[in-house]
Structure 1
Amino acid sequence: MIKKFLPLLLLSFMSFASIAKNTNYASNSSKSNLSEKIEIIYKSLNANNFVLPEINCFKKAMDGFFNLKEKGLISKDILTVIDFSLSSTKKRLWVIDLSTNTILYNTLVSHGMKSGLEYADSFSNSQSSNKSSLGFYATGETYNGKHGLSLKLDGLEKGINSNARSRAVVMHGAGYANPSIIKSQGYLGRSQGCPAIPEALKAEIIKVIKNKSCLFIYHPTKTYKIASKLMS
């Protein structure tokens, strides 16, 4: 009986810290090992009664996270994942504490008004495009703007989201990102490119993810896969 449960016990004690410490991008062999390690993290996640992100999205998010951590571009063991392949009626934002492998939040998030209606399918790094930008970001500092407490974002991928700060693409709360909007019009309200979240959760989420944590906006478009240098 002990032998039967030993693999599960070992899995539960696998820590993100030990995996991160041994991450190396130098060879195909290490990339294969990293993929296996990411699967272990995924399987050991404490869902906290939330739905898990889709595994392919999570793998790409973790791949970039390790890369950015290694380069010193992020410092926290907090990962925010946004899956824009999902309908805006779904809770498609996750905040994950990788030090405990626990999902802290899973909520709605808006995409840009020119990116699509219910689904986002068009993305841009251009000024005044009113579109969302994909890829990896480092969270910045907070400020109080027209939407109240807001969080600045620094796009880390040239040509993909590098204009985020100059475009004022930030995380903020918005009335149009609340669940009631879905009931009235059939899909979530849209932003000018910002990942806007429900007002009720903005203060909690922003407090957790501010100051150099990783935020990843995912969509399985081939254009991003080809352009991104942060995913293996």
Structure 2
Amino acid sequence: MAATLLLQAAPTSARDFLSRAVTPSSPPSPLASRLIRLAPRADPQVLRLAARALSCADPGAERLAVIDFSLPSTEQRLWVFDLARDRLLFRELVSHGQGSGDAMASEFSNIPDSHQSSIGLFRTLNSYEGSNGYSLRLEGLEPGVNDLAFQRAIVIHGADYVSKSFIERTGRLGRSYGCPAVRDEIAVPLIDSLKDSQYLFTYYPDPEWLAESAFLRCPRDGQHLAMQR
């Protein structure tokens, strides 16, 4: 896959591609049905993809975060699910990288110093105190798509440019160096809910990734891909 992921088609064409990719005529999986019930304002097709990826990686995971980067940064496009207790923990604003776009993200990469966000499935690692305060390390699980996330220091952290007041002033959120930054006020509880081997699924309708991601094409007898890494 090319290092920089660009969606060349118009948004409506991308949505058509997504519809075909998730085969909407088939019933959603039990996990997808749970996610759709808990987050009725999220795109159900995105949640179906997130459920497919998590079921392939680690069906026993307790927590899952989903980011829909096809939405503008002015919308709450981050959801955190507590699967063990069957509840939605957070629905939040989240930033994208400076190199990914303005209010709308459209370019994603795995390249160090690109300041672009990455898509795909991540596993969470440990929390720590760093230059951006309390932060959460991420391990990208998809080769060529996000597997340099740790090297690139792509982490979840709080930022003062993620706020409704920033949107009112500028018409968008501030942008990171590629990290999914959240509001300072909720950074600690959100990070604590996801740290230590939970999962983050970040979505954008890139046709190549949708067609080639091992987690989205997981064979029925090929479960637990992430756990085997």
Q: Which amino acid aligns with 1:88?
A: S
Residue 43 of structure 1: CA displacement? 5.0
- Partner SS state of residue 114, structure 1: helix
Residue 39 of structure 1: CA displacement? 4.6
What is the CA RMSD across the aligned residues, in angstroms? 1.8
Residue 184 of structure 1: CA displacement? 0.5
1:98-136 superposed Cα distances (whole Å, 9 cap, x missing partner): 123211100000000010000110000011110000000
Instruction: Give the structure 2 partner of residue 69 of structure 1.
Output: 58
CA contact (8 A) 2:65 2:79 kept: yes
More helix by share: 1
Q: Distance in 2 between matches of 1:181 and 1:203?
A: 20
Selected match of 2:170 from 185, 208, 223: 185
Query: Compared with structure 1, are the counterparts of its residues 66 and 142 closer, same or farther at alpha carbon in structure 2 (3 Å cutoff)?
Result: same
Instruction: Give the structure 1 partner of residue 4 of structure 2.
Output: none
Q: TM-score, normalised by structure 1?
A: 0.79
Could you tell me which runs of 5 or more consecutive residues in structure 1 were left unpaired when the two chains were aligned: 1-31
Query: Compared with structure 1, are the counterparts of its residues 182 and 76 closer, same or farther at alpha carbon in structure 2 (3 Å cutoff)?
Result: same
> 1:1-232 residue pairs with structure 2 within 5 A?
35-45=28-38, 47=39, 52-70=41-59, 76-232=61-217
**Runs ≥4 residues deviating over 3 A:** 32-36
Q: Distance in 2 between matches of 1:141 and 1:34?
A: 36
Query: Compared with structure 1, are the counterparts of its residues 81 and 39 closer, same or farther at alpha carbon in structure 2 (3 Å cutoff)?
Result: closer
Residue 34 of structure 1: CA displacement? 7.9
Q: Distance in 1 between matches of 2:109 and 2:204?
A: 13
- Greater Rg over alpha carbons, structure: 1
Q: Distance in 2 between matches of 1:185 and 1:40?
A: 37
Query: Compared with structure 1, are the counterparts of its residues 138 and 208 closer, same or farther at alpha carbon in structure 2 (3 Å cutoff)?
Result: same
Q: Distance in 2 between matches of 1:209 and 1:196?
A: 14
Higher RCO, 1 or 2 (CA under 8 Å, sep at least 6)?
2
CA contact (8 A) 2:32 2:47 kept: no
Query: Compared with structure 1, are the counterparts of its residues 225 and 146 closer, same or farther at alpha carbon in structure 2 (3 Å cutoff)?
Result: same
Q: Distance in 2 between matches of 1:185 and 1:33?
A: 42
Q: Which amino acid aligns with 2:53?
A: G
Q: Distance in 2 between matches of 1:194 and 1:36?
A: 30
State the percentage of identical aligned residues.
38
Query: Compared with structure 1, are the counterparts of its residues 149 and 39 closer, same or farther at alpha carbon in structure 2 (3 Å cutoff)?
Result: closer
Residue 182 of structure 1: CA displacement? 0.3
Could you tell me which runs of 5 or more consecutive residues in structure 2 were left unpaired when the two chains were aligned: 1-24, 218-229
Q: Which amino acid aligns with 2:134?
A: L
Task: Tell me how many residue pairs correspond in the alignment.
Answer: 193
1:158-203 superposed Cα distances (whole Å, 9 cap, x missing partner): 0000000000000000111122110100001000000000000000
1:40-99 superposed Cα distances (whole Å, 9 cap, x missing partner): 324543x5xxx53210110000101011115xxxx6311100000001000000001112
